[in-house]
Amino acid sequence: MKKGISRRQFLKNIGVGTAGLAVASLVDLAQVRAQGEEVVVRYMTTSWASTRDRRPARQVAFRSVIDSFNQRFADQGIRVEEVVVDDNPLTRTQEIEAGNADAFWFNHGLVQTRYDTGQLLDLRSFEPEIGEFFDFVQNTVTMEDGAIAALWHNTDTPLYYYRTDKFATPPATWSELVEQISAIREEEGGNTYGFVTPYVGWTQHNVGLYSALGGTLVDEMGAPTAFTDENKAIWTSMFEHFVGLIENDLVPASAIGNTQNQMLPDVYAGNVYSFTGNSNFHIRQLQPNLPPEEYELWSAVPIPYPDAAESGLYVAGGWMIGAVASGDPAKEAAAAAFTLHATDTNAMASTCLAGGWIPTRPAILAEDPFYSEDAYAQTTLAALEQGIVVPLDAIYNDMRIAIETALQRAAAGDATIEEALAEAEEETNRAYEALSSS
């Protein structure tokens, strides 16, 4: 069970920071391996984040990280080999348990679980530059015992994309958004809308706004808190906004059943003038699907936030690299060295550029010419400076699905908001009871 203290509070209590970690220097790998024996780091990753990806830019970027590491440590008899596996988290676990991986690429949402089950090596002894990462990264990778469980390689967050020829000034708040898209709908009518947002995957775009309104999701023990009276009032106010968008015909009705990818054909067809979508959608979705002259009309800002909030908070996701806690000092030291190498400034900048991702070191976004001169990257930086991470507790996914289902039912008119939230609470409680008894 969790102890009654947050990672952030733990850090405050012991004064941990980049300069405050009382740890040993990077282990001299030559001293921990057997005389004359080569140390091979088996780095397990997915095909789309490897030298085997079909896109040349990714092939070159990931190859450069591996080659530069091998050159750097060749005189110590250390080498990294890439091991490509499928994208199933269970496969990674099986390979780790079988002793077939020394470092690995994995989704940030599993960092707590993988550390708790002994898969991840504490990196503190190797002096990671943890203070150089976003605050939300530092909070997420720092465990309750102070361990640095992994290093976060790349991230993203949804943005509000809009056509500059239709929105002279992009909306910052919900009321401004409704005012502007209402005017567009009234003027153009038919199948033309000012806005669309996904109701499937809705939490990714809006849980940060729920937090900005003071909402909570779990307590320090990992139990759900999302349905207290205070929090239900927040959900109700948010649901009223999104149900109202449907009832007032301000977004296409198809949004109720659509993900952020499924809603985009209306954007490509020119029938929708703004939307919320991932921070790489300008290069992943808009640029490949629009004529150049239309693509140039688009821009982005952080997602508009509720008028009752002082500002927005925005959900961050992404992928990490960790070293396996194998018990072999040579393997662990070499794997830790590769983890630090693959997430340093140069490696992160090049691989994130190739992958269309956002680096987790804000200095790259602020200073690297590619990012510092890119308006979308700077918008993402502004959002991520107020970035949050959803709870890593097991109940969160069940809770997320229950809340999204509730919104979809209310928006479709299948239940009132009160009824839908009551059903979500019941479903979440049943799921939590099952998790607690397992």
- Domain positions in the chain are 7-156+317-388, 158-314+394-437
pLDDT at residue 29, rounded to an integer:
55
Locus of tokens 């789309």 = 48
Dig out the tokens for 268 from the structure.
Answer: 């490509």
Pairing mode of beta strands 298-301, 317-323: unpaired
Dig out the tokens for 409 from the structure.
Answer: 């039912």
> Is the distance from CB of 302 to CB of 159 less than 8 angstroms?
yes
Q: How many whole angstroms from its chain centre is CA 228?
A: 27
pLDDT at residue 3, rounded to an integer:
30
Q: What is the mean pLDDT of each run of 10 residues along the chain (438 residues)?
A: 33 30 40 69 98 96 98 93 96 96 98 97 96 97 97 98 97 98 97 98 98 97 96 98 98 97 97 98 97 98 98 97 96 96 97 96 95 95 96 96 98 98 98 92
DSSP E strands in 47-150: the ranges are 78-85, 103-107
Does residue 145 sit in helix, strand or coil? coil
pLDDT at residue 37, rounded to an integer:
81
Sequential DSSP letters for 288-315: HHS-HHHHTTEEEESPPB-TTSSS--EE
So what's the architecture of 158-314+394-437 in CATH?
3-Layer(aba) Sandwich (3.40)
pLDDT at residue 65, rounded to an integer:
98
Dig out the tokens for 396 from the structure.
Answer: 């969160």
Check if 7-156+317-388 and 158-314+394-437 are the same fold.
yes
pLDDT at residue 35, rounded to an integer:
53
Dig out the tokens for 59 from the structure.
Answer: 């092939």
DSSP state of 168: S
pLDDT at residue 417, rounded to an integer:
98
Angle, CA 359 vertex, CA 355 and CA 365 arms, to 5°: 115
pLDDT at residue 9, rounded to an integer:
35
Which distant-in-sequence residues (6+ apart) come within 8 Å of 245 by Cβ? 178, 195, 197, 251, 255
The dihedral region occupied by 127, where left means phi > 0, alpha psi between -120 and 50, and beta the remainder, is left
The pTM of this model reads: 0.91
pLDDT at residue 34, rounded to an integer:
53
Locus of tokens 């092939």 = 59
Could you tell me which CATH class the domain 7-156+317-388 is placed in? alpha beta
pLDDT at residue 30, rounded to an integer:
52
- DSSP H helical ranges for 28-167: 29-32, 56-73, 89-97, 111-116, 135-141
> Is the distance from CB of 29 to CB of 334 less than 8 angstroms?
yes
